[in-house]
Amino acid sequence: MQEIENKIVCGNTFALVKEIGDNSIDLIVCDGPYGVTNKAWDKISSVQEFNLRLIEIFSKKLKKGGVLYLFGKHDSVDFVDYRKYLNLKSRIIWYLPSRLSQGRINYTNNYDTIFYFVKGEKARCFNLDSIRVPQLVELEHRFRCERVPSVVNGRYGKTRFDERGKNPGDVWGDIKALTYRSKELADRRALNTVQKPELLIERLVLASSCEGDLVLDPFAGVGTCPVVCKRLSRRFIAFEVNASFVAVATRRLERLNRPLDKQHSLELAHGF
């Protein structure tokens, strides 16, 4: 298995995944077809059946307590029974307020869903301290509440401020989608339907893996997850069927070897 580690392997995931041993993966970040665009790779007859097949395959590859993040739309796992394979713990909403295309006959869709599955009851790790976010909005609200006495006992409350920040929760509005102007955009063809922001993938990798862990990215696109893994000292296995995306992803990985670009990449990821 080591021959396929820490590089982007070009080919079909359903064939390549057989090379991975059972119970060997700590984390899977699966950003594959959503079944909503007319791109050839995104055309599938039933996204729910497709995802169920992935869940079944990936559940065997995960260690006990391993995590699968599955990207999709609100209904991507509806009406299929995934419960015998993995436990669905959260549906994370990645809020995308600036979608240009506006619905005419329905509400405009303003979010992607990231389904958070765990193999077994409890995740091997959930590194909350690595993914805390500022709690300014709540603070404002609580300070307002402190000026009003409790209806129960007439006392005034006291706000405790946690310097470390708060749990990001399951609605993420703080990470912007990429645009044509994003420095991080690896290739124009990857805009909108392909490339995810490094910050988004970084939050998943930081929360659900530790240094040295093995991460699987079965639909690597232009390599965002491998880049994040390499920067955060995780091992990875990555598959991608489109050879030109493999070339872009490989170049992104190679750039990380150069010290200046490593700094540049960090700056991009943290929005300096």
Ligand X SMILES: C[S@@+](CC[C@H](N)C(=O)[O-])C[C@H]1O[C@@H](n2cnc3c(N)ncnc32)[C@H](O)[C@@H]1O
Which phi and psi (to 5°) does residue 116 adopt? -105, 105
Among 20, 175, 205, 222, binds ligand X (CB under 6 A): 222
* 194 lies in the site for ligand X, by CB under 6 A: yes
Chain centroid offset of residue 101 CA? 23
The least CB distance from residue 14 to ligand X, in Å, is: 6
Q: Contacts with ligand X in 15-34 (CB under 6 A)?
A: 31-33
Residue closer to ligand X, measured from CB, 66 or 223: 223
Residue 228: burial class (beta carbons within 10 Å; 0-12, 13-18, 19+): buried
Q: Collect contacts of 101-110 with beta carbons under 8 A, ≥24 apart.
A: 109/73
Does 196 sit near ligand X (CB under 6 A)?
yes
Provide the CB-side half-sphere exposure for 30 (13 A, CA): 27
Q: In angstroms, rounded to a whole number, what is the distance separating the alpha carbons of residues 25 and 64? A: 9
Nearer to ligand X, 219 or 236 (CB): 219
Among 35, 66, 72, 221, binds ligand X (CB under 6 A): 221
Among 115, 117, 172, 219, binds ligand X (CB under 6 A): 219
Helices and strands, counts by H and E, the chain? 7, 8
Rule CB under 6 A: is residue 236 a binding residue for ligand X?
Answer: no
DSSP 3-state of 119: coil
Is residue 35 at the binding interface for ligand X, with CB under 6 A as the rule?
Answer: no
Taking CB under 6 A as the criterion, the residue among 17, 41, 187, 262 binding ligand X is 41
| Residue nearer to ligand X on the CB measure, 55 or 220 | 220
For ligand X, the closer of residues 213 and 240 by Cβ is: 240
Decide: is 241 part of the binding site for ligand X (CB under 6 A).
yes
